[in-house]
Amino acid sequence: MAARLIFGLGVGLAAGYVLGTKAGRAKYTEIKARASDVWHDPHVQKAVSDAGDLVREAAPVVQEKLVDVAKAAKDKVTGSSSTDTSSPSTSTASSASSAQAND
How many CB atoms within 10 Å of residue 80? 13
Dihedral angle of Cα 68, 71, 77, 83, to the nearest 10 degrees: -110
DSSP 82: T
Alpha-carbon distance of 63 to 43, in angstroms, equals 30
Alpha-carbon distance of 21 to 14, in angstroms, equals 11
For the chain, what are the domain ranges? 11-40, 42-75
Q: Is 73 exposed, middle or buried (0-12, 13-18, 19+ CB in 10 A)?
A: exposed
pLDDT tens readout for residues 10-69: 888 888 877 777 777 788 888 899 999 999 999 999 999 999 999 999 999 999 999 999
Q: Which helix (H) or strand (E) holds 28?
A: helix 2-39
- pLDDT reported for residue 103: 47
Indicate yes or no: pTM above 0.85: no
Helix (H, G, I), strand (E, B) or coil at 79: coil
